[in-house]
């Protein structure tokens, strides 16, 4: 450590009284996801991107009932200037909403922004303080069910014609309607087809192409906010029968004039605007029908899986519960592929780089495609239907012993657990979807760690924890070693392929102090990033201010990806650490042994390989007092010393070479 005084994040990031408060509040919004009472988690889905890439969604981790409010899944609305709106238009997918209250376009930020739209949603937006929103349940929701809300009548094109929600699928509305595109779509398939060049394309895009509506230039046209048109008729869909009734509403909203039909970001009515529709919709949403639908979907999945074998290349890219790889499949097997579980999402053409449907340049898509799918040199994975002669070299499909979902054995880290349940276990030391409440000591089952009696997590305050743990040995990171050198966990497959350019300037965290002790991250490089909302997220008042991420480089990343340290040569020491269990290593490094540190990833979740992580002592974060969630997270005990990153936009190769070395600019320290 150098220097005595440690500037705070406030100083480093030039926060004012106002923005510092907002900043912390916003960080807490994300941290609240990890409270035992949160009742939801961010998961992944391929529903809204046609199995070509993944998007985030929110799923319930506990049962919710009509009228319940889910306060921890919150978000804030930040007004956008016209310039900002334009800037966002071209590129990344933020949740742009029209707020009638503010009378302006806004960004919805915070975990709430991962709630997807459904025409028959199970939640509705509710106000949760000034500029903040949360959700109220309109139906009972079971564990594992996706939480959805109604964005508006024209969010996904006029009358939501491009909507991909489960209700539209069931009712053959939105993107699932078949009547006017001349493409025969088999029952059960997603609304994606192959175009003349053999590329997989969204049906609505094909339709527009054919009708001459979609031209290159039209894609880039800016939103013309000036044009006011009457709100499209409100549509009531009977979730059960699919019958549609239209009502005319009196409110006006802005509609774009661009030639490209209104697409995702084009139009959202405010939370208030959809309420009437929503109420009507929900009168028609019967749980029985839903359940019936769900069970038929399950059956469909089940039958699609029967006889399906998967042949994987030896090089499979594994990220935190997500495997992304190039795959090949034939159109004749679309039906099978479309029904596969989350781990098998991508459909593409053999030997041809994949082009995202609709030319979308949304962030999540860009990441996934450029990482994996467009890399034509990467090895392919073949999904073959029942009739094919298949080779079951490496992978077999398994059913998770915890959640019963099917997954590929290639993604298995712990015995018979799917990636999601593994991740959950790594985070919370208890099986999905449970979370321990403070003072609850749960013995981990079926896990090596419980056998050794180690790694049981107790919740306690920091003073008790510090009493119990041995002081950190040595100040130098190179000399800090874990106590248990015998601890081993399964090595993971190394990711293949290039890393993405890393474009967010920020800081390298050289040291971490916890409760005044030197806690030097010996493994990997911590990047404390102060990024503006154009990149990830922002707080509610200062639109271009910071969000916090301590990001770990992927190589040697103790917390990112699968929660294990990646070594190129498993079982060898990395900076003096011989084993792979990241959480344990961090705990060791921080002198906290097995008391539990929680890797937290927050803003930017979707950019899968940029897992923003902050290390927060579990005892601090996971209090059970949801009414005072703002005070739950105490970051002040963690101090970090940073160097500014002098170079941005590194290529993956540069990044690999320069990690932690050349990049280091002037050294700074900050304290939360």
Ligand X SMILES: C[S@@+](CC[C@H](N)C(=O)[O-])C[C@H]1O[C@@H](n2cnc3c(N)ncnc32)[C@H](O)[C@@H]1O
* Binding footprint of ligand X on the chain (CB under 6 A): 48, 55-57, 93, 95, 113-114, 116-118, 156, 163-165, 264, 364, 606
For the bound state, the minimum distance from the C-beta of residue 313 to ligand X, rounded and expressed in Å, comes to 27
What's the CA dihedral at 275, 277, 280, 284 to 10 degrees? -110
Closest CA to 439 of 420, 456, 455, 460: 460
117/481 with CB nearer ligand X:
117
Q: Which is nearer to ligand X, 149 or 508 (CB)?
A: 149
Give 25 or 364: the residue with its C-beta nearer to ligand X. 364
Give the three-state DSSP class for 325: coil
Least distance to ligand X from the beta carbon of 264, Å?
A: 3
Between residues 26 and 583, which has the closer beta carbon with respect to ligand X?
Answer: 26
The CB-of-322 to ligand X minimum distance in angstroms stands at: 13
Contact criterion met (CB below 8 Å) for 197 and 210: no
What is the rounded distance in angstroms from the CA atom of residue 26 to the CA atom of residue 39?
A: 19
Closer to ligand X at the Cβ: 364 or 496?
364
Cβ contact 549:9 at 8 Å = no
In angstroms, give the least distance from the CB of 328 to ligand X. 25
**CA 524 to CA 574: how far, in whole Å?**
9
Q: Count H helices, E strands: the chain?
A: 16, 30
In 3-state terms, what secondary structure has residue 13? Answer: coil
Which among 610, 613, 609, 611 has a CA at the least distance from the CA of 597? 613
The two tokens of residue 447 are: 């896990």
Residue 646: name the closest of 662, 628, 670, 623 by CA. 662
Beta carbon of residue 135, minimum distance to ligand X (angstroms, whole number)? 12
Q: How far is the CB of 119 from ligand X (least distance, A)?
A: 7
Q: What token pair was written down for 425? A: 């276990």
Q: Which two tokens stand for residue 587?
A: 């705990």
Residue 398: count other Cβ atoms within 10 Å of its Cβ: 18
> Which C-beta is closer to ligand X: that of 358 or that of 560?
358
323 bridge partner residues: 318
CB 161 within 8 A of CB 154: no
Q: How far is the CB of 364 from ligand X (least distance, A)?
A: 6
Instruction: Give the Cα separation of 504 and 168 in Å (integer).
Output: 38
Closer Cβ to ligand X, 319 or 659, answer by number: 319
Distance, in Å, from the CA atom of 179 to the CA atom of 288, rounded to the nearest integer, reads: 28
Closer residue to ligand X, CB minimum distance, 113 or 618: 113
CB closer to ligand X, 114 vs 320: 114
Nearest-approach distance from CB 24 to ligand X, in angstroms: 24
Smallest distance from the beta carbon of 82 to ligand X, in angstroms?
20
Distance (Å, rounded) from C-alpha 584 to C-alpha 457?
11
CB 337 within 8 A of CB 282: no
């Amino acid at each position: 450590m150098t220097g005595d005084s440690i500037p705070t994040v406030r100083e480093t990031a030039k926060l004012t009284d106002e923005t510092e408060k907002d900043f912390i509040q916003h960080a807490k919004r994300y941290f609240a996801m990890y409270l035992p009472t949160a009742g939801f988690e961010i998961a992944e889905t391929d529903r809204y991107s046609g199995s070509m890439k993944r998007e985030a969604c929110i799923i319930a981790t506990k049962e919710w009932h009509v009228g319940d409010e889910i306060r921890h899944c919150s978000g804030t609305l930040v007004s956008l200037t016209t310039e900002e709106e334009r800037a966002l238009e071209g590129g990344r997918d933020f949740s742009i909403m029209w707020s009638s209250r503010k009378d302006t376009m806004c960004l919805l930020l915070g975990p709430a922004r991962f709630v997807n739209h459904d025409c028959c949603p199970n939640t509705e937006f509710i106000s949760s303080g000034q500029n903040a929103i949360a959700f109220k349940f309109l139906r009972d929701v079971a564990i594992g069910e996706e939480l959805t809300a109604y964005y508006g009548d024209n969010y996904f094109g006029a009358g939501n014609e491009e909507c991909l929600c489960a209700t539209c699928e069931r009712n053959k509305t939105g993107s699932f309607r078949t009547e006017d595109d001349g493409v025969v779509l088999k029952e059960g398939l997603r609304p994606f087809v192959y175009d003349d060049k053999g590329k997989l394309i969204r049906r609505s895009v094909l339709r527009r192409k054919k009708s001459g509506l979609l031209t290159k230039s039209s894609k880039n046209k800016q939103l013309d906010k000036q044009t006011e048109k009457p709100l499209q008729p409100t549509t009531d869909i009977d979730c059960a029968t699919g019958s549609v009734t239209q009502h005319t509403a009196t409110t006006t909203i802005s509609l774009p004039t661009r030639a490209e039909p209104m697409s995702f970001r084009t139009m959202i009515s405010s939370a208030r605007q959809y309420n009437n529709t929503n109420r009507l919709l929900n009168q028609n949403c019967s749980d029985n029908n839903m359940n019936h639908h769900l069970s038929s979907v399950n059956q469909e999945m089940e039958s699609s899986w029967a006889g399906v074998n998967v042949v994987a290349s030896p090089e499979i890219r594994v990220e935190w519960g997500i495997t992304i790889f190039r795959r090949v499949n034939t159109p004749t097997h679309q039906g099978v592929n479309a029904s596969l579980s989350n781990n098998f999402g991508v459909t593409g053409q053999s030997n041809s780089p994949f082009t995202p449907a609709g030319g979308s340049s949304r962030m999540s898509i860009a990441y996934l495609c450029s990482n994996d799918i467009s890399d034509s040199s990467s090895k392919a994975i073949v999904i073959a239907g029942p009739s094919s002669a298949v080779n079951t070299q490496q992978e077999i499909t398994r059913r998770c012993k915890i959640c019963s979902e099917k997954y590929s054995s290639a993604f298995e880290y712990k015995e018979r657990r799917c990636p999601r349940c593994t991740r959950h276990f790594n985070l919370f030391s208890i099986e999905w979807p449970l979370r321990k409440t403070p003072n609850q000591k749960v013995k981990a089952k079926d896990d090596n760690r419980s056998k050794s009696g180690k790694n049981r997590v107790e919740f306690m305050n920091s003073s008790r924890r510090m009493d119990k743990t041995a002081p950190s040995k040595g100040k130098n990171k190179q000399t800090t070693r874990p106590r248990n050198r015998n601890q081993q966990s399964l090595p993971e497959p190394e990711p293949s392929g290039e890393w993405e350019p890393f474009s967010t300037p920020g800081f390298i965290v050289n040291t971490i102090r916890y409760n005044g002790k030197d806690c030097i991250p010996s493994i990997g490089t911590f990047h404390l990033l102060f990024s503006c909302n154009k990149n990830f997220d922002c707080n509610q008042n200062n639109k271009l201010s910071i969000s916090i991420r301590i990001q770990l480089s992927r190589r040697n990343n103790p917390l990112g990806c699968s929660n294990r340290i990646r070594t190129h040569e498993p079982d060898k020491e990395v900076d003096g650490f011989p084993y792979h269990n990241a959480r344990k290593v961090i705990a060791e490094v921080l002198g906290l042994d097995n008391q539990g540190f929680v890797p937290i990833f927050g803003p930017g979740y979707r950019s899968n390989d940029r897992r923003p992580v902050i290390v927060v002592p579990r005892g601090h974060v996971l209090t059970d007092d949801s009414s005072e969630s703002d005070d739950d997270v105490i970051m002040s005990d963690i101090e970090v010393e940073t160097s500014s990153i002098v170079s941005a936009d590194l290529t993956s190769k540069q990044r690999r070479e320069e990690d932690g070395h050349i990049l280091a600019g002037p050294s700074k320290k900050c304290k939360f």
